[in-house]
Structure 1
Amino acid sequence: MNKFMSMLENILLPIADKLNNNRYLTALRNGFMVALPLIIFGSIFVVIANLPFLDKLIGEEAYATYQSTLGPASAATLSIMGLFVIMGIGYKMVEQRGGEAVYGAAVAVAAFLVLTPQVLDGVSNVIPTNILGAQGMFLGIFTAFIAAELYQLFVSKKLTIKMPQGVPSAVSRSFSALIPISLTLTIFLGIRIIFSYTPYDTVQNFIYTLIQEPLTALGSGLPATLIAVLLIQVFWFFGLHGQIIINSIFDPIWYALNEENLTAFQAGEALPNIVTKQFIDTFIVGIGGSGMTLAVLIAIFVVAKSRQLRELGKLGGPSGIFNVNEPVIFGLPIIMNPLVIIPWLFAPVVVAAVTYFAMYTGFAPRPAGLIVPWTTPALLSGYLATGNNIMGTVMQLINMAIVFVIWVPFLKVMDKQYYESEQKAAQSAE
């Protein structure tokens, strides 16, 4: 066991440290956080617009009117979520360098729009919303990175206009950004012109055909998903926030798959993807937090005799209901604890595989593309994430049972150790 732990530590810790401190992955992660409130807002209204049995209560015509009235809430947020992510990445990239972050956001969005074809079905001066959503996500991410870097490069080369003293600071900052932004956008305009002479016609078509489609296919498959889930657990075991590290890499893929499901759900069509952002967040992480520790807390209440575990259960229970599991992570403890390495690493992997096959066979519904807030308690989150389907709740119950069964033998060993230690301490005190 010690050799195995040392091997994992020597191989994975340096990789995790580099990923955790990489400025591009940090900006990507924080860029998604900028968009998250808007995404959640849109998801809430998608749920409200698709309440079960409402069409039977108020009639088909009234229901259609009701949905069209609430439609702009998701159309202005979820459908163009890529735009908000681009803005967030550009802002965070420039902010990291101590620059004027708002111009980082502006130049990232403008560069992306320069590359965007403004034609839809032969109509000019129209921006297709699908390009601002999932289909344009990858290009948007790369564009934000490059635009922000170019902007900062031109600023660092002092290619700015200096205004005399006495000019209002807002005006002075605008003129300082003029040349860096102009040079950056000119480069992107040149890129657009070059691609117009290729078979792909636009950069969007090139990125989506050669890069995003293969990566999305990989990220939507079971093997890559199981590896991602396992790595989340491995990083946490060594004290690193595995979810943040892995999400930085997979979130663009999972969010794109999520939006494809949302589009199909709103159109009343079959949902194309099993693995999405909500597959991970609702049916794995969303059951008490990373490692699905809500089921672990339930197991503690059932089997624990030691005071240490019983007190941990009382402390971690209320927060665990809302998927905050730091009390368990640091109180059990999870980090560097050889007694829990097997259930900690493999219980979520088993759950991911079982959930995938349950959805593949149709036993459980696929995620509908709705972004459910991560603090939503388990059982309710499963119902909401599957478009108000009670089988989403049933699937979460099954997952909790799987984690419970896997953890119980290991908790009994740990509890026995703690209990005997407490008994010896009590006898010594007497």
Structure 2
Amino acid sequence: MTKQEMFDKFVEFMARFAEYKAVAALRDGFIMTTPFTICGSLFLLIANLPIPGYPELMASMFGPHWTDPLNAVAGGTFNILGFIAVLAITYKYVEAEGCDAIMASILALAMFVIIMPASVAVDGGALAENVMPKLWAGSNGVITAIMVAFFTSVVCCWCEKNHIGIKMPAAVPGGVARAFEALTPGVILFTTAAVVFGLCHFIGNTTLPELIFAVIQTPLQGLSDTIVGGTVFSMLMTVLFWAGIHGPNVVGGILNPLMIANSLDNQKILDAGMSLLGNPDAHILTIQITDTLMKPGGCGATFGLLIASYLVARSQQMKTITRLGTVPGLFNINEPIIFGLPIVFNPYMIVPFCLAQLAVMLIAYGAIAVGFMAPFSAIQVPWTTPPIIAGFLMNGWQGAVVQIAGLAAATAIYFPFVKAQDNAFYKEEQSEAEEHEHEEEGTPVLNH
């Protein structure tokens, strides 16, 4: 098998992978968490604006506890991420199957609550019983929420498609009938949850979320928080996008839950009164890097391509595409470049498209590793926030400087390739102009 055939097989596999219902539900479900995390981030940002003297000014105006209402909003969104995820993923999966998505989502939430820890340690080591710890409703319960969502979805769809349930007469209102139809999957799910809870408690004195967090989620977060992990994810995004598959959507379905959990873990360190800077327990790779910082202009750090084009472009085609792509690129929308240049299946662009984003990620990783910039907390900005402004809002002047350095590196990487592409366009335009000139003069064109 040739390299080209292997690459084609890989692209075909990833295209099929992206179409799996579970992958699509995971991706779309976490997209539904975005309004909550962004809104929570905005309130957290207001409480922690990176401006000298800002906390003191606000405290003098509103008192020493002025951040409490803002932090309550942030906590009310970040600390229920597991709840939101289990509802959203179940809904998207069951909806795609054409079944009753609302009832399945409610059943999934109930099952998730059943298997959660029901106590929390308080001062003095005592346990407060019959409580719902925010710790497991938030980032620590994300992987458990995903597993519960998929299990619930499969059970509910299987019962509905096989007509397993209590059927009511046609005269019964639809809402009442659906409620009774949900009894059978509800019994199956809640019995399973009770058995799992009992086994975990009596055999290991633990709960399923705690077990999954220790055995699965913590190793996955650790693997994702490395240069190797970041490199693999970045390359997958760009290679797939170059091949015409929306790489960030495919990879993000797997990556984003881990990256969000990393950033929320960092926020817990801050909430405990510790610093993130130089803290070995803090995660370096978080959702802010993979979703915003390493993509100035969009996937592939294509704002560097636009800058390079402004520096060297002579062809009308390159100039036109650059002008059309600049305003969307400022807001990290690069489809005009991806499909207009194009980058998709363009041999001139595969190398810089992959390397530019990787370089930006490595610069951000290095800046945090050496202590120039603190790891990111839970503060996020909308992905359409322009480069440099996004870096400043998320991590102060250091974040802005790191984004400037990343843009400079991306521009330098794109420069020779953009120049080669522009030369090819320019030669085509010159050749077409000569042909047009000869046609007007009525003389034949000699092929060289």
TM superposition score normalised by structure 2: 0.91
Q: Which residue of 2 aligns with 1:404?
A: 411
- Note closer, same or farther for the CA distance 1:223–1:86 as it changes in structure 2 (3 Å cut): same
Q: Which residue of 2 aligns with 1:170?
A: 175
C-alpha distance in structure 2 between counterparts of 1:70 and 1:55, whole Å: 13
CA contact (8 A) 1:90 1:107 kept: no
Tell me which structure has the larger Cα radius of gyration.
2
- The alpha carbon displacement at 1:350 in A equals 2.0
C-alpha distance in structure 2 between counterparts of 1:166 and 1:15, whole Å: 48
- Note closer, same or farther for the CA distance 1:66–1:298 as it changes in structure 2 (3 Å cut): same
Moved more, 167-176 or 212-221: 167-176
C-alpha distance in structure 2 between counterparts of 1:171 and 1:57, whole Å: 56
- The answer to whether 1:288 aligns with 2:297 is yes
C-alpha distance in structure 2 between counterparts of 1:268 and 1:120, whole Å: 20
Q: Name the SS of the counterpart of 1:136 in structure 2.
A: helix
C-alpha distance in structure 2 between counterparts of 1:367 and 1:60, whole Å: 27
Deviations along 1:101-157, one digit per CA (max 9) or x if unpaired, are 001211111111110122122222210001011111111111111112112222233
- The answer to whether 1:423 aligns with 2:430 is yes
C-alpha distance in structure 2 between counterparts of 1:26 and 1:200, whole Å: 35
Q: Name the SS of the counterpart of 1:366 in structure 2.
A: coil
Q: Which residue of 2 aligns with 1:145?
A: 150
C-alpha distance in structure 2 between counterparts of 1:169 and 1:213, whole Å: 44
Q: Name structure 1 gaps, 5 residues minimum.
A: none
Once the two structures are superposed, the pairs formed by residues 94-133 of structure 1 within 5 Å of their partners are 94-121=94-121, 122-133=127-138
- The answer to whether 1:207 aligns with 2:212 is yes
Provide the identity percentage. Answer: 31
Moved more, 195-204 or 57-66: 57-66
One of 244, 253, 276 as aligned partner of 2:286: 276
- The alpha carbon displacement at 1:280 in A equals 1.0
Q: Which residue of 2 aligns with 1:368?
A: 377
Q: Which residue of 1 aligns with 2:124?
A: none
CA contact (8 A) 1:274 1:366 kept: yes
C-alpha distance in structure 2 between counterparts of 1:110 and 1:394, whole Å: 46
One of 188, 194, 198 as aligned partner of 2:199: 194
Q: Name the SS of the counterpart of 2:387 in structure 1.
A: coil
Q: Which residue of 1 aligns with 2:441?
A: none
C-alpha distance in structure 2 between counterparts of 1:427 and 1:199, whole Å: 81
CA contact (8 A) 2:167 2:180 kept: yes
Moved more, 156-165 or 213-222: 156-165
Once the two structures are superposed, the pairs formed by residues 316-335 of structure 1 within 5 Å of their partners are 316-335=325-344
- The answer to whether 1:77 aligns with 2:84 is no
TM superposition score normalised by structure 1: 0.95
- The answer to whether 1:307 aligns with 2:316 is yes
Q: Give me the CA root mean square deviation.
A: 1.7
C-alpha distance in structure 2 between counterparts of 1:350 and 1:69, whole Å: 39
Q: Which residue of 2 aligns with 1:21?
A: 19
- The alpha carbon displacement at 1:267 in A equals 4.1
CA contact (8 A) 1:282 1:385 kept: no
- Number of residue pairs aligned between Structure 1 and Structure 2: 425
- The alpha carbon displacement at 1:427 in A equals 2.1
Task: Name segments (4+ residues, structure 1) moved above 3 Å.
Answer: 58-64, 265-268
C-alpha distance in structure 1 between counterparts of 2:102 and 2:203, whole Å: 34
CA contact (8 A) 1:299 1:404 kept: yes
- The answer to whether 1:343 aligns with 2:352 is yes
Q: Name the SS of the counterpart of 1:120 in structure 2.
A: strand
- Note closer, same or farther for the CA distance 1:48–1:5 as it changes in structure 2 (3 Å cut): farther
Q: Counterpart amino acid of 1:116?
A: M
Deviations along 1:371-418, one digit per CA (max 9) or x if unpaired, are 2111111111111222xx111011000000001011111111111111
- The alpha carbon displacement at 1:297 in A equals 0.8
